[in-house]
A and B are shown apart, each in its own frame.
Chain A
Amino acid sequence: MMAAVTALTGLAACAPATRFEWGAYEPALYAYAQNPENREAYRTALERAIEAGRKRDAVAPGLLAELGYLHLQAGETAQALTLFREERARFPESAVFMDRVIVGLGGQAAVAGGEAQ
Protein backbone atom coordinates (compact mmCIF):
# COMPACT_ATOMS: atom_id res chain seq x y z
CA MET A 1 0.00 0.00 0.00
CA MET A 2 2.79 2.39 0.90
CA ALA A 3 4.62 1.52 -2.29
CA ALA A 4 1.47 2.23 -4.27
CA VAL A 5 0.98 5.59 -2.59
CA THR A 6 4.63 6.53 -3.12
CA ALA A 7 4.43 5.59 -6.77
CA LEU A 8 1.23 7.61 -7.10
CA THR A 9 2.87 10.77 -5.82
CA GLY A 10 5.41 10.56 -8.60
CA LEU A 11 2.80 9.66 -11.16
CA ALA A 12 0.51 12.57 -10.38
CA ALA A 13 3.13 15.02 -11.63
CA CYS A 14 3.17 13.63 -15.16
CA ALA A 15 -0.47 12.59 -15.50
CA PRO A 16 -2.41 15.65 -16.75
CA ALA A 17 -0.73 16.66 -20.04
CA THR A 18 -0.87 14.30 -22.99
CA ARG A 19 2.07 13.99 -25.33
CA PHE A 20 -0.14 13.29 -28.36
CA GLU A 21 -3.59 14.28 -29.59
CA TRP A 22 -5.96 11.29 -29.44
CA GLY A 23 -9.37 12.95 -29.68
CA ALA A 24 -12.12 10.32 -29.68
CA TYR A 25 -9.86 7.58 -31.11
CA GLU A 26 -10.50 5.11 -28.25
CA PRO A 27 -14.33 5.16 -28.04
CA ALA A 28 -14.64 5.46 -31.83
CA LEU A 29 -12.40 2.43 -32.52
CA TYR A 30 -14.29 0.47 -29.91
CA ALA A 31 -17.65 1.32 -31.50
CA TYR A 32 -16.26 0.44 -34.95
CA ALA A 33 -14.82 -2.88 -33.74
CA GLN A 34 -18.21 -3.74 -32.29
CA ASN A 35 -20.21 -2.67 -35.33
CA PRO A 36 -18.84 -1.89 -38.83
CA GLU A 37 -21.70 0.58 -39.30
CA ASN A 38 -19.73 2.95 -37.08
CA ARG A 39 -17.03 3.25 -39.74
CA GLU A 40 -17.79 6.88 -40.64
CA ALA A 41 -17.72 7.96 -36.99
CA TYR A 42 -14.34 6.24 -36.57
CA ARG A 43 -13.01 7.95 -39.72
CA THR A 44 -14.19 11.36 -38.49
CA ALA A 45 -12.63 10.76 -35.07
CA LEU A 46 -9.28 9.90 -36.70
CA GLU A 47 -9.43 12.97 -39.00
CA ARG A 48 -10.17 15.32 -36.10
CA ALA A 49 -7.48 13.86 -33.85
CA ILE A 50 -4.92 14.12 -36.69
CA GLU A 51 -5.97 17.72 -37.45
CA ALA A 52 -5.56 18.69 -33.79
CA GLY A 53 -2.22 16.88 -33.69
CA ARG A 54 -0.83 18.69 -36.75
CA LYS A 55 -1.44 22.04 -35.04
CA ARG A 56 1.04 21.34 -32.24
CA ASP A 57 3.23 18.68 -33.83
CA ALA A 58 1.57 16.01 -31.69
CA VAL A 59 -0.06 13.67 -34.21
CA ALA A 60 -0.45 10.39 -32.31
CA PRO A 61 1.55 7.38 -33.55
CA GLY A 62 -0.43 5.10 -35.82
CA LEU A 63 -3.45 7.32 -36.44
CA LEU A 64 -2.38 8.41 -39.95
CA ALA A 65 -1.82 4.75 -40.86
CA GLU A 66 -5.16 3.72 -39.35
CA LEU A 67 -6.94 6.40 -41.43
CA GLY A 68 -4.99 5.28 -44.50
CA TYR A 69 -6.06 1.70 -43.85
CA LEU A 70 -9.72 2.78 -43.75
CA HIS A 71 -9.29 4.52 -47.12
CA LEU A 72 -7.52 1.44 -48.49
CA GLN A 73 -10.42 -0.79 -47.47
CA ALA A 74 -12.77 1.62 -49.23
CA GLY A 75 -10.70 1.34 -52.42
CA GLU A 76 -9.32 4.89 -52.11
CA THR A 77 -5.71 3.96 -52.79
CA ALA A 78 -4.42 7.46 -53.54
CA GLN A 79 -5.59 8.88 -50.19
CA ALA A 80 -4.26 5.78 -48.44
CA LEU A 81 -0.80 6.21 -49.97
CA THR A 82 -0.64 9.88 -48.96
CA LEU A 83 -1.47 9.00 -45.36
CA PHE A 84 0.95 6.04 -45.20
CA ARG A 85 3.71 8.36 -46.49
CA GLU A 86 2.92 10.97 -43.85
CA GLU A 87 3.00 8.30 -41.11
CA ARG A 88 6.40 7.23 -42.40
CA ALA A 89 7.71 10.80 -42.54
CA ARG A 90 6.55 11.69 -39.04
CA PHE A 91 7.62 8.39 -37.47
CA PRO A 92 10.80 6.82 -38.90
CA GLU A 93 10.07 3.75 -36.71
CA SER A 94 7.23 2.90 -39.11
CA ALA A 95 9.48 2.88 -42.22
CA VAL A 96 9.81 -0.89 -42.72
CA PHE A 97 6.09 -1.50 -42.29
CA MET A 98 4.92 1.53 -44.28
CA ASP A 99 7.37 0.92 -47.14
CA ARG A 100 6.19 -2.66 -47.40
CA VAL A 101 2.57 -1.53 -47.60
CA ILE A 102 3.34 1.35 -50.00
CA VAL A 103 5.35 -0.88 -52.36
CA GLY A 104 2.64 -3.52 -52.13
CA LEU A 105 0.17 -0.92 -53.42
CA GLY A 106 2.42 -0.10 -56.34
CA GLY A 107 3.68 3.13 -54.79
CA GLN A 108 7.26 4.30 -54.58
CA ALA A 109 8.93 3.72 -51.23
CA ALA A 110 10.65 6.77 -49.87
CA VAL A 111 14.42 6.86 -50.20
CA ALA A 112 15.98 5.88 -46.89
CA GLY A 113 16.49 8.99 -44.79
CA GLY A 114 14.66 11.15 -47.30
CA GLU A 115 11.49 13.12 -46.71
CA ALA A 116 8.40 11.31 -47.85
CA GLN A 117 6.08 14.31 -47.52
Chain B
Amino acid sequence: MIIRKSLAVAALACAALLSACATGPAPKSYAALRAENPRSVMVVPALNSTVNVDAADYFVSTISRPVAERGYYVFPAHMVKGVLEDEGLSDAGLVHQADAARFGPLFGCDAVLFVEIQKWESQYILISTSTNVAFEYTLKSCRSGQVLWSDHQEMTYSPQASNSGNPLADLLAQAIVSALEKAKPNYMPLTQQANLTATHALGQGLPAGPYLPAQHRQDHKSFPDE
Protein backbone atom coordinates (compact mmCIF):
# COMPACT_ATOMS: atom_id res chain seq x y z
CA MET B 1 0.00 0.00 0.00
CA ILE B 2 2.86 2.36 0.91
CA ILE B 3 4.71 1.39 -2.26
CA ARG B 4 1.61 2.00 -4.31
CA LYS B 5 1.16 5.42 -2.74
CA SER B 6 4.74 6.45 -3.32
CA LEU B 7 4.39 5.39 -6.94
CA ALA B 8 1.30 7.54 -7.26
CA VAL B 9 3.19 10.48 -5.76
CA ALA B 10 6.07 9.91 -8.16
CA ALA B 11 3.62 9.73 -11.05
CA LEU B 12 2.00 12.98 -10.01
CA ALA B 13 5.34 14.70 -9.66
CA CYS B 14 6.22 13.59 -13.20
CA ALA B 15 2.84 14.68 -14.48
CA ALA B 16 3.36 18.13 -13.07
CA LEU B 17 6.76 18.44 -14.74
CA LEU B 18 5.79 17.20 -18.19
CA SER B 19 2.63 16.21 -19.96
CA ALA B 20 3.49 12.53 -19.81
CA CYS B 21 5.25 10.22 -17.44
CA ALA B 22 6.09 6.71 -16.36
CA THR B 23 5.49 4.57 -13.32
CA GLY B 24 6.34 1.04 -12.28
CA PRO B 25 9.98 0.02 -12.19
CA ALA B 26 9.29 -3.70 -12.72
CA PRO B 27 10.47 -4.68 -16.20
CA LYS B 28 7.98 -6.29 -18.56
CA SER B 29 8.46 -9.01 -21.12
CA TYR B 30 7.47 -8.04 -24.63
CA ALA B 31 8.17 -11.47 -26.13
CA ALA B 32 4.51 -12.47 -26.55
CA LEU B 33 3.50 -9.08 -27.94
CA ARG B 34 6.43 -8.99 -30.35
CA ALA B 35 5.77 -12.53 -31.54
CA GLU B 36 2.14 -11.66 -32.23
CA ASN B 37 3.06 -8.30 -33.86
CA PRO B 38 -0.51 -6.90 -33.77
CA ARG B 39 -1.46 -4.17 -36.26
CA SER B 40 -4.85 -3.41 -34.76
CA VAL B 41 -6.37 -2.97 -31.31
CA MET B 42 -10.07 -3.13 -30.54
CA VAL B 43 -11.03 -1.37 -27.31
CA VAL B 44 -14.16 -2.92 -25.81
CA PRO B 45 -16.35 -0.97 -23.34
CA ALA B 46 -14.61 -0.56 -19.99
CA LEU B 47 -15.66 -2.70 -17.06
CA ASN B 48 -16.82 -0.26 -14.41
CA SER B 49 -16.12 -1.65 -10.93
CA THR B 50 -16.95 1.65 -9.23
CA VAL B 51 -20.25 3.16 -8.10
CA ASN B 52 -19.93 6.12 -10.48
CA VAL B 53 -22.32 5.31 -13.34
CA ASP B 54 -20.74 7.85 -15.74
CA ALA B 55 -17.20 6.48 -15.49
CA ALA B 56 -17.35 4.18 -18.54
CA ASP B 57 -18.88 6.88 -20.78
CA TYR B 58 -16.13 9.22 -19.69
CA PHE B 59 -13.46 6.64 -20.25
CA VAL B 60 -14.38 5.60 -23.82
CA SER B 61 -13.60 9.06 -25.16
CA THR B 62 -10.01 9.04 -23.86
CA ILE B 63 -8.57 5.65 -24.80
CA SER B 64 -8.49 5.45 -28.63
CA ARG B 65 -6.18 8.37 -29.21
CA PRO B 66 -3.20 7.32 -27.03
CA VAL B 67 -3.28 3.74 -28.37
CA ALA B 68 -3.49 4.95 -31.99
CA GLU B 69 -0.69 7.43 -31.41
CA ARG B 70 1.55 4.47 -30.56
CA GLY B 71 1.06 3.40 -34.17
CA TYR B 72 -1.86 0.98 -34.09
CA TYR B 73 -5.12 0.88 -35.98
CA VAL B 74 -7.76 1.37 -33.28
CA PHE B 75 -11.30 0.28 -34.07
CA PRO B 76 -14.06 2.93 -33.70
CA ALA B 77 -14.74 2.54 -29.98
CA HIS B 78 -18.21 4.06 -29.87
CA MET B 79 -19.38 2.10 -32.95
CA VAL B 80 -17.92 -1.12 -31.52
CA LYS B 81 -19.93 -0.51 -28.36
CA GLY B 82 -23.11 -0.14 -30.44
CA VAL B 83 -22.41 -3.26 -32.52
CA LEU B 84 -21.70 -5.32 -29.38
CA GLU B 85 -25.01 -4.11 -27.95
CA ASP B 86 -26.76 -5.21 -31.16
CA GLU B 87 -25.15 -8.64 -30.68
CA GLY B 88 -26.66 -8.85 -27.22
CA LEU B 89 -23.44 -7.89 -25.44
CA SER B 90 -24.50 -4.64 -23.80
CA ASP B 91 -23.15 -5.78 -20.42
CA ALA B 92 -19.45 -4.95 -20.13
CA GLY B 93 -19.11 -7.77 -17.58
CA LEU B 94 -20.13 -10.32 -20.22
CA VAL B 95 -17.77 -8.79 -22.79
CA HIS B 96 -14.87 -8.94 -20.36
CA GLN B 97 -15.57 -12.59 -19.53
CA ALA B 98 -15.61 -13.59 -23.19
CA ASP B 99 -12.61 -15.34 -24.73
CA ALA B 100 -10.73 -12.65 -26.68
CA ALA B 101 -10.33 -15.14 -29.55
CA ARG B 102 -14.09 -14.88 -30.13
CA PHE B 103 -13.69 -11.28 -31.36
CA GLY B 104 -11.30 -12.23 -34.17
CA PRO B 105 -13.88 -13.68 -36.61
CA LEU B 106 -16.38 -10.90 -35.85
CA PHE B 107 -14.14 -7.86 -36.15
CA GLY B 108 -10.89 -9.07 -37.71
CA CYS B 109 -8.96 -7.53 -34.82
CA ASP B 110 -5.42 -8.60 -33.90
CA ALA B 111 -5.75 -7.65 -30.22
CA VAL B 112 -8.45 -6.61 -27.76
CA LEU B 113 -7.86 -4.07 -25.00
CA PHE B 114 -9.85 -4.66 -21.82
CA VAL B 115 -9.85 -1.86 -19.26
CA GLU B 116 -11.26 -2.17 -15.76
CA ILE B 117 -12.10 1.06 -13.96
CA GLN B 118 -11.15 0.26 -10.38
CA LYS B 119 -11.33 3.69 -8.82
CA TRP B 120 -13.22 6.85 -9.85
CA GLU B 121 -13.94 9.07 -6.88
CA SER B 122 -13.62 12.51 -5.41
CA GLN B 123 -13.07 12.73 -1.66
CA TYR B 124 -13.59 15.88 0.38
CA ILE B 125 -11.74 15.87 3.69
CA LEU B 126 -11.70 19.05 5.77
CA ILE B 127 -10.81 21.70 3.19
CA SER B 128 -9.01 19.48 0.73
CA THR B 129 -10.49 17.51 -2.17
CA SER B 130 -8.65 14.66 -3.81
CA THR B 131 -9.85 13.10 -7.06
CA ASN B 132 -8.62 9.55 -7.65
CA VAL B 133 -8.73 7.16 -10.58
CA ALA B 134 -7.27 3.68 -11.03
CA PHE B 135 -7.30 1.57 -14.20
CA GLU B 136 -6.21 -1.97 -15.04
CA TYR B 137 -5.29 -2.53 -18.72
CA THR B 138 -5.12 -5.98 -20.33
CA LEU B 139 -4.29 -6.52 -24.01
CA LYS B 140 -5.19 -9.98 -25.32
CA SER B 141 -4.64 -11.71 -28.64
CA CYS B 142 -7.67 -12.09 -30.93
CA ARG B 143 -6.12 -15.31 -32.25
CA SER B 144 -5.05 -17.21 -29.13
CA GLY B 145 -6.78 -15.23 -26.39
CA GLN B 146 -3.52 -15.03 -24.44
CA VAL B 147 -2.41 -11.90 -22.57
CA LEU B 148 0.05 -9.82 -24.63
CA TRP B 149 0.52 -6.84 -22.32
CA SER B 150 -0.93 -5.40 -19.13
CA ASP B 151 -0.56 -2.27 -17.05
CA HIS B 152 -1.96 -0.54 -13.98
CA GLN B 153 -2.32 3.19 -13.41
CA GLU B 154 -3.41 5.18 -10.38
CA MET B 155 -3.65 8.96 -10.45
CA THR B 156 -4.57 11.55 -7.86
CA TYR B 157 -5.32 15.22 -8.25
CA SER B 158 -5.76 17.79 -5.46
CA PRO B 159 -6.28 21.40 -6.50
CA GLN B 160 -4.29 23.93 -4.49
CA ALA B 161 -5.28 27.56 -4.08
CA SER B 162 -2.42 30.03 -4.58
CA ASN B 163 -0.64 31.38 -1.52
CA SER B 164 -1.38 35.04 -0.82
CA GLY B 165 0.50 35.39 2.47
CA ASN B 166 -2.71 35.99 4.42
CA PRO B 167 -3.46 32.70 6.28
CA LEU B 168 -7.18 33.31 6.69
CA ALA B 169 -7.63 34.33 3.05
CA ASP B 170 -5.59 31.29 1.96
CA LEU B 171 -7.77 29.00 4.05
CA LEU B 172 -10.90 30.44 2.48
CA ALA B 173 -9.45 30.27 -1.03
CA GLN B 174 -8.45 26.62 -0.49
CA ALA B 175 -11.92 25.76 0.80
CA ILE B 176 -13.49 27.31 -2.30
CA VAL B 177 -11.13 25.55 -4.72
CA SER B 178 -11.76 22.22 -2.96
CA ALA B 179 -15.52 22.69 -2.94
CA LEU B 180 -15.47 23.45 -6.67
CA GLU B 181 -13.46 20.29 -7.37
CA LYS B 182 -15.87 18.27 -5.23
CA ALA B 183 -18.88 19.68 -7.10
CA LYS B 184 -17.37 19.05 -10.52
CA PRO B 185 -14.42 16.63 -10.30
CA ASN B 186 -11.90 17.03 -13.07
CA TYR B 187 -11.76 13.41 -14.28
CA MET B 188 -10.93 14.08 -17.93
CA PRO B 189 -7.29 15.28 -17.56
CA LEU B 190 -6.56 12.57 -14.98
CA THR B 191 -7.93 9.86 -17.24
CA GLN B 192 -6.08 11.21 -20.28
CA GLN B 193 -2.90 11.31 -18.22
CA ALA B 194 -3.35 7.73 -17.02
CA ASN B 195 -4.01 6.44 -20.55
CA LEU B 196 -1.07 8.36 -21.99
CA THR B 197 1.28 7.04 -19.34
CA ALA B 198 0.01 3.47 -19.68
CA THR B 199 0.53 3.40 -23.44
CA HIS B 200 3.57 5.68 -23.94
CA ALA B 201 5.98 5.00 -21.06
CA LEU B 202 9.26 3.58 -22.32
CA GLY B 203 9.81 -0.01 -21.22
CA GLN B 204 6.27 -0.16 -19.79
CA GLY B 205 3.84 1.00 -22.48
CA LEU B 206 3.17 -0.28 -25.98
CA PRO B 207 6.03 -0.73 -28.45
CA ALA B 208 5.59 1.23 -31.68
CA GLY B 209 3.00 -0.20 -34.05
CA PRO B 210 2.98 -0.27 -37.86
CA TYR B 211 1.69 3.31 -38.24
CA LEU B 212 5.00 4.51 -36.79
CA PRO B 213 7.12 2.83 -39.49
CA ALA B 214 10.41 4.44 -38.41
CA GLN B 215 10.15 2.82 -34.96
CA HIS B 216 8.03 -0.26 -35.69
CA ARG B 217 10.05 -3.38 -34.82
CA GLN B 218 13.09 -1.14 -34.20
CA ASP B 219 12.49 -0.45 -30.48
CA HIS B 220 13.61 -3.79 -29.08
CA LYS B 221 16.02 -2.10 -26.64
CA SER B 222 13.29 0.01 -25.05
CA PHE B 223 10.85 -2.90 -24.90
CA PRO B 224 12.97 -6.01 -24.19
CA ASP B 225 11.85 -9.62 -24.43
CA GLU B 226 12.51 -10.45 -20.77
Contacts and interface: CB of A to CB of B under 8 A. Distances in A.
A4 B22 contact: yes
Nearest to B17: A8
B22 A30 contact: no
Contacts of B68: 19-20, 60-62
Contact of B73 (A8, A10, A26, A94): A94
Nearest to B187: A30
Nearest to A5: B14
Contacts of A18: 69
Given A11-B22, A19-B71, A93 B40 contact: yes
A33 B58 CA distance: 8
Contacts of B107: 96-97
Interface residues of B, number: 51
Contacts of A14: 200
Contacts of A33: 57-58, 60-61, 78
A93 B222 CA distance: 26
Contacts of B40: 93-94
A50 to B, nearest CB: 12
Nearest to B210: A93
A80 B192 CA distance: 29
Interface string B66-107: 001101111111110011000000000000000000000111
Interface residues of A, number: 40
A96 B20 contact: no
B108 A10 contact: no
A66 B202 contact: no
A34 B17 contact: no
B202 A7 contact: yes
A29 B78 contact: yes
A8 B21 contact: yes
Interface string A16-48: 001110100111011001100000000000000
Name the 10 nearest CB pairs between A and B, nearest first: A96-B108, A7-B22, A62-B76, A93-B73, A93-B40, A33-B57, A65-B76, A29-B61, A30-B61, A3-B25
Interface of A: 1, 3-8, 10-12, 14-15, 18-20, 22, 25-27, 29-30, 33-34, 60-63, 65-66, 68-69, 87, 91, 93-97, 100-101
5 contacts: A3-B24, A3-B203, A4-B23, A66-B76, A93-B110
Interface of B: 10-11, 14, 17-25, 39-40, 54, 57-58, 60-62, 64-65, 68-69, 71-79, 82-83, 105-110, 188, 192, 200-204, 211-212, 222
